[in-house]
Chain A
Amino acid sequence: MAPVSSTQGALTRWRIEHASQLNDLRRGIYRFTRNWLSVIGLLIVVVLVIIAITAPGWVPYPDDIAGAVDPANRMKPPSAEHVFGTDDYGRDVFSRTMWATRTSLVVGIIILVVAISIGVVLGALAGYFGGWVNQVIMRATDIMLTFPGIFLALAISAVLGRGIEIAMLALSITWWPGYCRLVEAQMLKIREEDFVAGAKAVGASNLRIIFRHILPNLLTGIIVKASMDFGFAVLAIASLSFIGVGVQPPDPDWGSMISQGRRFIPSGWWYSTFPGLFMFVTVLGFNLLGDGLRDLLDPNATVR
């Protein structure tokens, strides 16, 4: 065998040691790419993430983000200078729509991270321990589910005031019950598995069993639900911004842009249309990705 340098040797060794993981990965990529809809979903999501990360570097009119006003260029239709046209303050709709991608994605991530953290921990405890723990947590969950999310968010911002932070808080609070139920239901099933008894038999504590043994097995369901939910979280935050309690002007947001633009719909169609289009594509992209991930990670759910 030819002598290899030490770094090459380490890489080769790693590849041999993790051959089975690499094989699983390869098989996964193959299965995922066989469904072109999920590939489109993934592409949309990747493009959106790139836009969100790099937007500050290349948007043509960065001053318009902070709320610069240019009355001379009010409501100009799309042109070479302003590809998405300008709004009622003469700001570049393209720059603001791109920038709003950042807001939407960051807000969506925060909502889901908070909701998943709360929901998964509560659901895991309820499902694992059962009995009165389950009763207390799941009845609280049921109560939370009876509140329509948007209205609860409205009520909370009526008390705490307007603003994106409060809207996020409100949406996180209405979003966790779904994860709680998902995890609880699967927990009830999986805690009877032999390998859980096996973990107990080698002396594992309850916390270790829940977090080390059971939750990793529930991860796929959580990831799939999260990728589906992400689009809806973006929609929800846009809805709140639309009615004026989410992102506050002049910060750009798809929801508030659509809301402000609707007054100009007959003539200035571009004002609402482009943010709306981006929102549509975002929700679509995350849903397609979620579908693809579900087929990939949970073969039992495949319909075909």
Chain B
Amino acid sequence: MSLLEVRGLTKVFNRTVRAVDDVSLTIEEGATFGLLGESGSGKSTLARLIPRLIEPTAGELYFDGRPLHNLRDHEMRAMRERIQIVFQNPFSSLNPRMTVRQLIGEPLIIFGRATGSALDARVHEMMELVGLPIEYLNRFPHEFSGGQRQRIMIARALILHPRLLILDEPTSALDVSVQAQVLNLLIDLQKRLGLTYLLITHDLSVVRYMCDQAALMYLGKIIEWGTVDQVFHTPQHPYTQALLADIPSTDPDQRMLERISLESDIFSARWNGHGCRFSPRCPAAQIGACKTSDPSLIPTQAGHRVACHLISTDSATS
């Protein structure tokens, strides 16, 4: 059974902005699921919808087979012991008035799992696990670098022994040299603790490096989803193809040949709500359906799903 199942999850802000639009996905226990998208694609909103830090407008959530979407507030609070989240910006996600000891130990206090010396022992253990010197116990967040803060955040998230860890761009606020350290720490922790990751990022290489599954979001919707191999080697959606082609290549001949440029960006290429949401920027030859209906996510081969009229008509005719 899959650890997390999301069905038709939708979040509408201010009655008009469909930040997350009918998203469905499943994550297997022990896997790393990479969710890709550019700024404004709704991926961070999705990250906060799953542990219900913001309330979904519609849709269903199942964790380990148990529904989350209809839990009452206090029941959902209890479930947060199993689902933890690491935020993007370690400079704003740690309470500036709390020491490292308080920050890392707080989840245990909230859930009444340990007090006194047992609590201290657990905090020490977590600091060791994420590679923070014990001497930093009584320091405040502002005394740390971004990478160290993200380690504090990870220790805080893991002290409850969660099964699912949602990583919302865990490295995008960090220096490049520190990014790899944090990613390797996460890989190492996953092996040791048997964690399941939902990794949200805009960095294609991070997904290729860490993930088993990859999905791409565009304007709140998943437009392609498959194994990392499928998505990176046989991308189907014009958006995915354009993104992959934009990764700079070290081979000068290849660089100019295959590059497909996307015009404008996600905000200026306004989708008017009709037809395919990607159609205003789509570099591929468009057919009539692109202007009239929004394609849904359709399987093309085992485990590979694409939302594109060009693909679905291809497979329908052949």
Residues of A within 8 A of B (CB): 17-21, 24, 193-195, 197-205, 208, 213, 216-217
Nearest CB in chain A: distance from B105 CB, A? 10
Q: Is the CB of A194 within 8 A of B143?
A: no
Q: CA of A248 to CA of B97 in the docked complex: distance in angstroms?
A: 45
Q: Quick check: is B139 within 8 A (CB to CB) of the other chain?
A: yes
A202 touches B84 (CB 8 A): yes
Q: In the complex, are the beta carbons of B137 and A201 less than 8 A apart?
A: no
Bound together, the chains give a CA A20 to CA B143 distance in angstroms of 8
Say which size band chain B's interface belongs to. 20 to 34
- What are 19 inter-chain pairs, A to B, with CB distance below 8 A? A20-B140, A194-B87, A194-B93, A195-B94, A195-B96, A197-B87, A197-B93, A198-B87, A198-B93, A200-B53, A201-B53, A202-B80, A202-B110, A202-B156, A203-B77, A203-B110, A204-B106, A213-B95, A213-B98
B156 contacts which chain A residues (CB < 8 A)?
198, 202
With contacts A203-B78, A203-B111 taken as known, whether A193 is within 8 angstroms of B140 at the C-beta atoms is: no
Say yes or no: is B275 at the interface (Cβ < 8 Å to chain A).
no
- Beyond A194-B89, A204-B110, A208-B110, is A199–B139 a contact (Cβ under 8 Å)? no
Task: Tell me, in angstroms, the Cα distance from A206 to B98 when the chains sit together.
Answer: 18
Report the Cα distance A90→B261, complex, angstroms: 96
Q: Which residues of B contact A198 (CB under 8 A)?
A: 85, 87, 93-95, 153, 156
Extra inter-chain contacts (19) besides given A197-B87, A201-B157, CB under 8 Å: A17-B137, A19-B138, A20-B139, A20-B143, A21-B138, A24-B140, A195-B92, A197-B48, A198-B87, A198-B95, A202-B107, A202-B110, A202-B156, A202-B157, A203-B110, A204-B106, A205-B110, A213-B95, A216-B97
- In the assembly, what is the distance between CA of A199 and CA of B85, in Å? 10
User: Cβ of B137 and Cβ of A217 under 8 Å apart?
Assistant: no
How far apart are B275's CB and chain A's nearest CB, in angstroms? 34
Count of A-B contacts judged by CB separation below 8 Å: 69
Q: A195-B94, A213-B95 are in contact. Are A203 and B80 (CB under 8 A)?
A: yes
**Contact code string B39-50 (vs A, CB < 8 Å = 1, else 0):** 000000000100
CB-based contact A201/B84 at 8 Å = yes
Please list the 10 inter-chain residue pairs (A to B) with the smallest Cβ-Cβ separation, ordered nearest first.
Answer: A194-B93, A202-B107, A194-B92, A203-B80, A216-B97, A195-B95, A20-B139, A203-B77, A201-B85, A203-B110
Say yes or no for B81: interface residue by CB 8 A criterion: yes
How far is the CB of A37 from the nearest CB of chain B, in Å?
Answer: 28
Give the residue among A19, A195, A199, A204 with the most B Cβ atoms within 10 A. A195
Bound form: Cα–Cα A198–B89 in Å? 11
Q: Which residues of A contact B93 (CB under 8 A)?
A: 194-195, 197-198
Is there a chain A Cβ closer than 8 Å to B160's Cβ? yes
**Chain B residue at minimal CB-CB distance from A202:** B107
**Do B77 and A205 have beta carbons less than 8 Å apart?**
yes
Closest Cβ of chain B: how far from A223's Cβ, in Å?
13
- Per-residue CB contact flags for chain B residues 237-268 toward chain A (1 = under 8 Å, else 0) read 00000000000000000000000000000000
Is B85 a contact of A217 with CB atoms below 8 Å?
no
From DSSP, what is the main secondary structure of chain A's interface residues?
helix
Q: How far is the CB of A197 from chain B (nearest CB, A)?
A: 5
- A194 and B143 alpha carbons, distance in the complex (Å): 18
Q: With the chains together, A65 CA to B300 CA distance in Å?
A: 95
Given contacts A194-B93, A195-B93, contact A17 B138 (CB under 8 A): yes
Contacting residue for B106 out of A18, A193, A197, A202, CB 8 A: A202
Measured between beta carbons, the chain B residues less than 8 angstroms from A217 are 95-97
Q: Which residues of A contact B77 (CB under 8 A)?
A: 203, 205
- Report the minimum CB–CB distance from B88 to chain A (whole Å): 8
Say if the beta carbon of B51 comes within 8 Å of chain A: yes
Instruction: Point out the residues of chain A lying under 8 angstroms from B138, CB to CB.
Output: 17-21
Chain A residue with Cβ nearest B74: A205
* B-chain residues with CB within 8 Å of residue A21 when the two chains form the complex: 138
Residues of A within 8 A of B80 (CB): 200-203
Give every chain B residue within 8 A of A199 (Cβ-Cβ): 95, 106
- Report the Cα distance A204→B94, complex, angstroms: 14
As a 0/1 sequence over residues 131 to 151 of chain B, the CB contacts with chain A under 8 angstroms (1 = contact) are 000000111100100000000
Query: Which residues from chain B contact A204 at a C-beta distance below 8 Å?
Result: 106, 110
CB distance from B138 to the nearest CB of A (A): 5
Q: In the complex the two chains form, what is the Cα distance from A17 to B138 in whole Å?
A: 6
The complex places the Cα of A195 from the Cα of B89 at a distance, in Å, of 10
